Chain A
Amino acid sequence: MKTDTIAAIATAMSNSGIGIVRISGSDSLEIIDNIYRSRIAGKRLSEADSHTVHYGYICDGEDVIDEVIVLLMKGPNSFTREDVVEIDCHGGVLVTKKILETVIKYGARPAEPGEFTKRAFLNGRIDLSQAEAVIDVINAKNDFALKSSVSQLKGAVHDKITEMRSRIIYNIAFIESALDDPEHVSIEGYGEKLLVEVEKLLIELKNLLKSADNGRIIKEGIQTVIVGKPNAGKSSLLNLLVGEERAIVTDIAGTTRDVLEESIQLGGVSLTIMDTAGIRNTEDVVEKIGVERAREYSLKADLIIYVVDSSTDLDENDEEIIQMIKEKKAVVLLNKSDLTMVTTEEMLEKKTDHRIIQISAKENRGIEILEETLKDMFFSGEISFNDEVYITNIRQKNLIQEAYESLEMVKKSILEEMPEDFYSIDLMSAYESLGSIIGEKAEEDLVNEIFSKFCTGK
């Protein structure tokens, strides 16, 4: 553990209002001193009185991130009874996130789910009779974090991390089996070989970090699912949305393309769009799996885009979809408006309360209206998403960074010609950090790897 000072975003993540980043722990004041600039030269917040408000800027070195108001609450007169600093910024997802990242860069760690409340409780700030309530908060937040850390992680990233971990553990196991049984296994000159591997891993991690900066590690936009019966034009809609200039879609270097998911910016709102198999009752096994997945995704989605083929009649499949999205946030797109309309807006209005927009994916008509609609829904707060997702991303980025630093230590040890046993200590840290991203503990992995890959023993 690097530090016991924690930080998190305390406000809901939306593109309006203000954003608050909260820091708690013994290093809070030192951290704010390092990133806060006042107009008054040399002003240090650690020297300011408790419970005071300060105007200034948050900077990362020379870069000014935002104009802010900082609140100081020195322990024990704070929510957690530790030194607490709150940074109120202009809000907006990007700025708030950037400030949190800066706070972490300067020595805090992302708070565990429910950790502020837990600290407040353990430090006697919350009435001890409220233990159950505190436990509920921890559990609720943790459930979400668990769900998001696994489900939000892109499949390709998961695979990449798993693959890197297996390379790391193999190397640790080799070193350890040699240390354990030096007369059976020799590691003379191993440093050079390992250096090549470590340098490769460092490059790969660097790429992952870059992807994390661009929000491509996890699906952090609004989880959007396109549904509709087969041939309604779902895929053409997706292609249209993605294929335009406004779409930001890039692969993570070295990973396979995850065809189902695309991240796009539409009217300044970031969406993670999943194309799904058309929903219809089917006996075809493969397609059935696709349909099941579509249902599953729809349940978890923040927003559903339901594409209706206006050139055909509504059938039982449509009825099923309409039922499915009844309780969800959704937009109905009446596609193929370039053809003769069999199903009309009026007919749909009787069946659903959701907004209906006529489009033609083929002729690229109506997309602007969709864009405007989404913007409205987002800024009015009609669609939002849990800020834990952002925290998850920052937490994961932090873990990748930790793994990177551990491998840098390995590299340093090799270059300084330290003995081999020093390599495996930092390799293990890297292995554990990467494991936390995909929710896996190290436990007996190493011992298992040693015994399965290397022949040692008497």
Chain B
Amino acid sequence: MSAIVEEYDVVVIGAGHAGCEAALASARLGLETIIFTVSVDSIALMPCNPNIGGSSKGHIVKEIDALGGEMGKNIDKTFIQSKMLNLSKGPAVHSLRAQADKAEYSKSMRKILENTDNLTVRQAEVVEILAENNVIRGVRTFSGATYNCKSVVLCTGTYLKSRCIYGDVSSYTGPNGLQSADYLTESLKNLGIEIQRFKTGTPARIDKRSIDFSKMEEQFGDERVVPFSFSTDPETVQIKQASCWLTYTNEETHRIIRENLDRSPLYSGMIEGTGPRYCPSIEDKVVKFADKDRHQVFIEPEGLYTNEMYVGGMSSSLPEDVQHKMYRSVAGLENAKIVRNAYAIEYDCINPRQLNPTLEFKQIQGLFSGGQFNGSSGYEEAAGQGLVAGINAALKIQGREMLILDRSESYIGVLIDDLVTKENKEPYRMMTSRAEYRLLLRQDNADLRLMKKGYEVGLVSEQQYNSLINKENQIAAEIKRLENTNIGASKEVQSLLEIKESTPLKTGTTLAELIRRPELSYEILEPLDKERPQLAADVIEQININIKYDGYIRRQLKQVEHFKSLENKKIPAELDFLNIDGLRKEAKQKLDLYKPLSIGQASRISGVSPADISVLLVYLEQYRHNAKKQDMR
């Protein structure tokens, strides 16, 4: 019997949101790449909510775009409604969210994958990772074919030994009844990789024709849509948008749920996986927040060419008959016909502390991973990791320095650092509160933060890079001009201030000082500013933000300086933490478990105290000194 043997540089396992970004990045960097999926028809599938972005997740999509990833471009082509959330709040928490046409999103991404040079799409189940002496050699598929390669990126999402459950019905399938991947877990365990089991869930889909929308509140998209991608022409996204609908659960819904709690697999112990607290099932909400007499329910279209509607806010794993009654108790859903049941899904994933911030396994050279497999949740979080894992899988082969994003420059950096450095007991979801430097990590400046990195990696074009530099220069020059342009308390000035209900000037000031007033802005001051250059809207936005929030931004920059100084103190990989005498026992064990790459990372591990860090610093200094002495001999 002879089996196929093929040669590739990079193998990507899984073609969800992480896998697509990983494969595209690697192929675009010039490496021969193959992406495996259990079904080519399910490339970039959105098995849960029909939207991309939202609070902090929208930031991640923008960052993916600035680094040269695909998600932002793809949603710009396939969205059916778009909203900038939190517009009344500060610029750091403005978040873009778009409803996707799921089928179009998937189709469009598949087209991109299929037409990318160096990229092969292959339908097959990978059952074994081949490694020798802890170095990646290749993978083997269910049919016995071998694909030799130098790097593997695991993006298996929720497919490893997955099980879907509602009531007492359970089936060993992936989402949407797709085939699960049942063999890979064993292979990973054989490589010494620690596996854990997580759980998540999704609500029912309901036939649009059976919904009475007159009992619901219509939710519109923004009048002027902002694209996700920095390379999308804003004019191309001003489309006719679809609506979402808002309704509520009520006492009757809650009664039905309470009366049937004993039939929920979560409460009966049938589900063992750890579920996310931020994405609670409706039964969890009713139990935990018993004092609330209603919960919001968002009815969202799954696409333009389907009647299926997603019932946001009501994910569940209750039995079918209870689901039926429960959904029908909601205003507007009295006659609802369920197309797909709500279900919970359990799956194998890893404890991500086994990874370096490059997303390479500490123990296995050339093995990378991204997405839900790493214990995260959400399409955007998955894509962000997939991109970094794919980039690094390629950079490693090219012998270049791998990409590590830190907490002070991106949400993706926060995401990865949290995953690899902190205890993670549930699927990890991004939130703006997780980013300590969030004033700097805005969605509006993702390009300024990251496009240079994308260019250095090789995923951002020369042309894009040049226009970024141009933008930077324009912003800096204009801010300088505004800080230095004096303005007197002339009649013209006072009358404009009066119209804008702003306190009149007592003495001369600068244009920048005026922009700092909450009621004023760069645009409003135009009549007073004769020498103003012509600037694009995105440049003006940066000028406004940087001047208005100058004090806060400076404070954060100062914090970042301190952060960076610790981040830049690297810890040699060969350091044996267990042998450092002055460390407390708990610190030794934790440091040995996480093997941090820098003092900064070490300081974020729970159980490592400031005194331990001092000891580590002193030890490192001596260690370096001794190493140098040995070199000299």
Contacts and interface: CB of A to CB of B under 8 A. Distances in A.
B582 interface: yes
A176 interface: yes
A132 B438 CA distance: 40
B562 interface: yes
Contacts of A340: none
Given A421-B92, A455-B280, A131 B431 contact: no
A122 B434 contact: no
A48 interface: no
A456 B298 CA distance: 13
A179 B86 contact: yes
A333 B559 CA distance: 56
Interface stretch (A110-118, A195-203, A347-355): A110-118
Interface string A429-458: 000000000000101101100110001111
A142 interface: yes
A419 B549 CA distance: 11
A227 B409 CA distance: 59
Contacts of A183: 85, 296, 298
Contacts of B292: 455
B611 A134 contact: no
Contacts of A132: 581-582
A418 B90 contact: yes
A254 to B, nearest CB: 29
A1 B518 CA distance: 28
B577 interface: no
Given A131-B618, A138-B615, A447-B433, A179 B315 contact: no
Given A139-B582, A183-B296, A421 B431 contact: no
Nearest to B430: A180
B176 interface: no
Contact of A129 (B298, B559, B622): B622
Given A138-B611, A457-B278, A182 B55 contact: yes
A422 B49 CA distance: 30
A455 B289 contact: yes
B231 to A, nearest CB: 28
Interface in B334-349: none
Given A122-B621, A128-B621, A128-B622, A180 B280 contact: no
A344 interface: no
B240 interface: no
A179 B614 contact: no
A131 B621 contact: yes
Contacts of B276: 457
A138 B92 contact: no
B312 to A, nearest CB: 5
B625 interface: yes
Contact of B611 (A139, A425, A455): A139
Contacts of A425: 438-439, 552
Best-surrounded residue of B55, B559, B614 (most CB of chain A within 10 A): B614
A181 interface: yes
B170 interface: no
A357 B192 CA distance: 72
Interface in B260-293: 276-280, 285, 288-289, 292
A136 interface: yes
A49 interface: no
A132 B617 CA distance: 12
Nearest to B90: A419
B180 interface: no
Most buried by B among A132, A183, A458: A458
Contacts, number: 124
Contacts of A181: 55
A236 B518 CA distance: 64
A122 B565 CA distance: 14
A142 to B, nearest CB: 4
Contact of B433 (A131, A146, A179, A184): A179
A182 B85 contact: yes
Given A122-B617, A419-B89, A131 B277 contact: no
Find the residue from A131, A181, A422, A451 having the highest chain B CB count within 10 A.
A131
Contact of A455 (B86, B295, B434, B618): B295
Interface in B595-633: 606, 610-611, 614-615, 617-619, 621-622, 625-626
A197 B166 CA distance: 45
B433 A136 contact: no
A135 B619 contact: yes
B81 to A, nearest CB: 13
A26 to B, nearest CB: 13
A417 B615 CA distance: 45
Contacts of A418: 90, 518
A420 interface: yes
B433 A424 contact: yes
Interface string B88-102: 111011000000000
Given A132-B582, A455-B295, A458-B315, A180 B277 contact: no
Of A138, A183, A424, chain B has the most CB atoms within 10 Å of the CB of A183
A284 interface: no
A327 interface: no
Given A184-B296, A458-B315, A416 B614 contact: no
A265 to B, nearest CB: 34
B610 A112 contact: yes
B526 to A, nearest CB: 23
Contacts of A456: 278
B432 interface: yes
B56 interface: yes
Interface string B527-570: 00000000000000000000000001000000100100000000
A180 B518 contact: no
Contacts of B431: 176, 180, 447, 450
Contact of B90 (A131, A421, A443, A450): A421
B313 interface: yes
B444 to A, nearest CB: 14
Contacts of B203: 458
Contacts of A385: none
A134 B315 CA distance: 57
Contacts of A451: 277-278
Interface in B40-62: 49, 55-56
Contact of A180 (B295, B433, B622): B433
A45 B552 CA distance: 33
A451 B44 CA distance: 30
A444 B86 CA distance: 24
A306 interface: no
Which residue among A172, A451, A456, A457 has the maximum number of chain B CB atoms within 10 Å of its CB? A457
A57 interface: no
A222 B267 CA distance: 56
Interface of B: 49, 55-56, 85-86, 88-90, 92-93, 203, 276-280, 285, 288-289, 292, 295-296, 298, 312-313, 315, 422, 431-434, 438-439, 518, 552, 559, 562, 581-582, 606, 610-611, 614-615, 617-619, 621-622, 625-626
12 contacts: A112-B611, A115-B614, A118-B618, A122-B617, A131-B619, A131-B622, A134-B618, A135-B582, A139-B582, A182-B55, A421-B86, A421-B89
Interface of A: 1, 112-115, 118, 121-122, 128-129, 131-132, 134-136, 138-139, 142, 146, 172, 176, 179-184, 416-422, 424-425, 441, 443-444, 446-447, 450-451, 455-458
Given A135-B619, A425-B438, A457-B278, 19 more contacts: A1-B562, A118-B617, A121-B621, A131-B618, A131-B621, A135-B581, A138-B582, A138-B615, A142-B611, A142-B614, A183-B85, A420-B90, A422-B90, A422-B552, A443-B606, A444-B422, A447-B433, A455-B285, A455-B289
* Closest 6 pairs (CB-CB, A-B): A135-B582, A419-B90, A131-B622, A142-B611, A451-B277, A176-B433
